[in-house]
């Protein structure tokens, strides 16, 4: 077990109103929250707007974390705000800390690929970001159902230790749990930032 001094960042997104992809030209935004925890203690947090179905997730994460002293980043999935796929290679290159992608259930990659092909002209770039995550691993923590994860820039054992340490109130990492609560609670602040034109 790694020591409780591990500083983990959790990244989660907020909610947004459903819409028809490929039809509306409105740019929709929601919140992206990063929480910084040392064990169970919340050290810092930051919330920024993120574009629904955009490609700005990685840039926003890097901008937040650039001046934080951290040990590991835990993402609440490979995508945020719809299909805003994180470029994990870019984030790792800029921050130089291990990245764990947490999933509560095994993803249906065929369905994901089909959705990308159907709705996005740049589906190849989005799919490339998915494939860069590599192998999906399974982890059982206590009596909870299994969780799944991918890891970039760190070993599988390191990722398992982080996920066990962060399983304070259940199987979801505590940094993600708190980030999710804050992101959903602040979603409406950014949903009014509506524009038209090209999704960045």
Instruction: Give me the pLDDT at residue 191, please.
Output: 73
The answer to whether residue 113 is domain-embedded is yes
Do 48 and 64 touch, CB atoms closer than 8 A? yes
What averages of pLDDT result for each successive group of 10 residues across the chain (200 residues)?
75 83 70 95 95 95 95 96 95 97 94 94 95 93 93 96 93 96 90 48
d(CA 122, CA 45): 32
- Nearest-CA neighbor of 101 among 10, 168, 193? 10
The answer to whether residue 198 is domain-embedded is no
The answer to whether residue 1 is domain-embedded is no
- Tell me how crowded residue 173 is: count the other CB atoms within 10 A of its CB: 28
The answer to whether residue 199 is domain-embedded is no
* CATH number of the domain bearing residue 32: 3.30.2170.10
167: tokens are: 């399983």
Residue 52 CB-density burial (10 A; 0-12 exposed, 13-18 middle, 19+ buried):
buried
pTM for the full model?
0.89
Angle at 149 between CA 83 and CA 12, to 5 degrees: 45
- What lies within 8 Å, CB to CB, of 188 at 6+ separation is none
- What lies within 8 Å, CB to CB, of 194 at 6+ separation is 26, 27, 28, 29
56: tokens are: 């700005």
Domain span at 188: 7-193
Do 49 and 32 touch, CB atoms closer than 8 A? yes
Instruction: Give me the pLDDT at residue 46, please.
Output: 97
Q: Work out how many domains the chain is built from and give that number.
A: 1
d(CA 140, CA 147): 6
């Amino acid at each position: 077990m790694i020591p409780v001094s591990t500083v983990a960042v959790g990244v989660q997104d907020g909610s947004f109103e459903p819409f028809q992809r490929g039809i509306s030209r409105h740019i929709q935004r929601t919140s992206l929250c990063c929480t910084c925890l040392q064990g169970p203690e919340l050290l810092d947090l930051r919330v920024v707007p993120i574009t629904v179905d955009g490609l700005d997730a990685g840039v926003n994460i890097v901008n937040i974390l650039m001046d934080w002293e951290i040990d590991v980043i835990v993402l609440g999935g490979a995508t945020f705000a719809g299909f805003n796929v994180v470029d994990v290679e870019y984030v790792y290159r800029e921050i130089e800390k291990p990245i764990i992608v947490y999933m509560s259930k095994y993803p249906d990659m065929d369905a994901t690929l089909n959705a990308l092909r159907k709705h996005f002209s740049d589906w190849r770039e989005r799919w490339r970001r998915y494939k860069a995550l590599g192998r999906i691993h399974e982890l059982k923590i206590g009596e909870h159902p299994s969780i799944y994860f991918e890891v970039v820039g760190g070993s599988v054992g390191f990722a398992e230790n982080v996920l066990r340490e962060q399983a304070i109130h259940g199987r979801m990492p505590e940094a993600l749990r708190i980030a999710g609560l804050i992101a959903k609670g602040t979603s409406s602040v950014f949903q009014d930032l509506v524009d038209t034109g090209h999704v960045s």
